[in-house]
Structure 1
Amino acid sequence: MQQMKSLANKVVIVSGGASGLGAAVVKSVADAGGVPVVLDQNVQAVQDVQAHQVDVSNSAAVAQAVADVAQSCGGIDAVVTAAGIDRCGRLEDVPAQEWDKVVMVNLLGTAAVIRAAMPWLQERHGSVVTVASSLGLRALPEASAYCASKFGVIGFSRALAAENKGRVGVTTLIPAGMKTHFFDDRAEQYKPSDDSRLNDPQAVANAVVFALTQPRGCEVRELVICHEEEDSWP
């Protein structure tokens, strides 16, 4: 029987690692003996782990930050792309700059972090976990930017897995709603009416570690995870 891989001393970049799911992933990776490194626009609250302040929609800044991580840590073993934002509303009501920013962070930022880390990931037969959403499979009104970005993450991840098979493991994580501060800045009509059906982000983070520790030759290609009574999927 094949043994699960160990994360002991493995360097894992977590974009969006200062809060929400990203922070939960940082904890799970650290608990598994790994070395999480945070990339986030606001790293003031990050403690006890290496953190780099960077806007993931700025590909040049991302490339520099990732290179700095590789130099300081001696390489990169895995990447988890948990950075994400949202702007709710009808297409004509969301300012174009804000709509574009959602796609730039959620989709282009995902690609930027992975692209920058790819030389080290290929060198170590590393792993990637991209964070999509149940709204990357199911469209809702007044969420066009978020749906577009997360549908894009799923397509990007599938293509990435196809072109890197045998070299870099790629898992697409598809979580439904979680109990995080993600919904805090929304208007009331866009907040969950019942948070009892939102998943614990730590449970989702533990699933990320599960994907990262699959034995060599085995990959979790896509992983849907949600609260048992969650109704946003399928």
Structure 2
Amino acid sequence: MLGNVLVTGGAAGLGAAVADAVREHGGTPLVLDKSAPAHGEFELVDLSDGRAAEAAVETLARRHGGLSAVVTAAGTDRCGTLAEVPAKEWERVVQVNLFGTVAVIRAALPHLDGGRVVTVGSTLGLRAVSDATAYCASKFGVVGFTRALAAETAGRIGVTLVVPGGMRTGFFDDRTEQYRPKDLSKLNPPDRVAAAIVFALTQPPECEVRELVIAHAEEPSWP
């Protein structure tokens, strides 16, 4: 049984797939998102606002008597060269992907009693590409943050970094043609990544999946 699992970005994409997988394994997904999920418990919040994110975590944790795990699946992007992307839009990517992740986990820790945290990085948190400075900066930050958190909470909280490649979600929908994947068949369905996350969440006590890369066999950004 998974218990109460806080899922950011749980209204769509990977987050929705994680919420479904948690439900299928007997857990209760508690969703944080700027949009309401199709069903289940949630709080509406813009994760670029760290203090609002912390308050939303507190509300859900108290309402449901604590948390057993946190999965930070929310993410955003803004493609383009550093000179082309307006500063406010560049900074929002880092605010949601990195600072939002940190704010949610910071607020959740007091409510996790021997529970687990899964952060969602990216293959572009390990490999940098052009026209993605905001996204790479945010995801490289998630990698460093997660590794440091694992060291800090070792023996008390389970911490896993999941590194997915591209997924068949709406993540690419608002991009211009040059920044869209050329072949959607070379992207993983999000339920496969969600299954890997549940695998990490269901490890026995004192066993840790520290880092897990999961991607389509022909993922172009890995290795």
Q: 2:75 aligns with which of 80, 84, 95?
A: 84
Does residue 22 (structure 1) correspond to residue 15 (structure 2)? The answer is yes
- Contact persistence 1:57–1:112 (CA under 8 A): no
d(CA) in 2 for partners of 1:217, 1:39: 28
d(CA) in 2 for partners of 1:71, 1:101: 28
Q: CA RMSD in A?
A: 0.7
Q: Counterpart in 1 of 2:121?
A: 132
Task: In structure 1, give the amino acid aligned to 2:139.
Answer: K
5+ residue gaps in structure 2?
none
d(CA) in 1 for partners of 2:55, 2:121: 25
Task: Report matched runs for 1:156-167 at 5 Å.
Answer: 156-167=145-156
d(CA) in 1 for partners of 2:136, 2:20: 28
Q: 1:202 aligns with which of 179, 184, 191?
A: 191
Give the match's secondary structure for 1:92. coil
Give the match's secondary structure for 1:178. coil
d(CA) in 1 for partners of 2:39, 2:92: 30
Deviations for 1:68-126, whole angstroms, at most 9, x for unmatched residues? Answer: 111111101100001100000000000000000000000000000000001011xx101
Deviations for 1:201-228, whole angstroms, at most 9, x for unmatched residues? Answer: 0000010000000000001000000011
5+ residue gaps in structure 1?
1-5
d(CA) in 2 for partners of 1:68, 1:142: 38
Deviations for 1:112-149, whole angstroms, at most 9, x for unmatched residues? Answer: 0000001011xx10100000000000000000000000
Length-normalised TM-score, structure 1 = 0.94
Task: In structure 1, give the amino acid aligned to 2:210.
Answer: R
How far 1:153 sits from its partner (Å)? 0.2
How far 1:47 sits from its partner (Å)? 2.7
Length-normalised TM-score, structure 2 = 0.99
d(CA) in 1 for partners of 2:60, 2:28: 11
d(CA) in 1 for partners of 2:159, 2:95: 21
d(CA) in 2 for partners of 1:161, 1:155: 10
Give the match's secondary structure for 1:125. strand
Task: Report matched runs for 1:1-234 at 5 Å.
Answer: 6-7=1-2, 10-43=3-36, 46-121=37-112, 124-234=113-223
- Contact persistence 2:42–2:60 (CA under 8 A): no
d(CA) in 1 for partners of 2:79, 2:39: 34
- Contact persistence 1:28–1:205 (CA under 8 A): yes
Task: In structure 2, give the amino acid aligned to 1:190.
Answer: Y
How far 1:48 sits from its partner (Å)? 2.6
d(CA) in 2 for partners of 1:154, 1:112: 15
d(CA) in 1 for partners of 2:49, 2:72: 15
**Structure 1 segments of 4+ aligned residues over 6 angstroms from their partners:** none
Report how many residues are paired: 223
Task: In structure 1, give the amino acid aligned to 2:183.
Answer: D
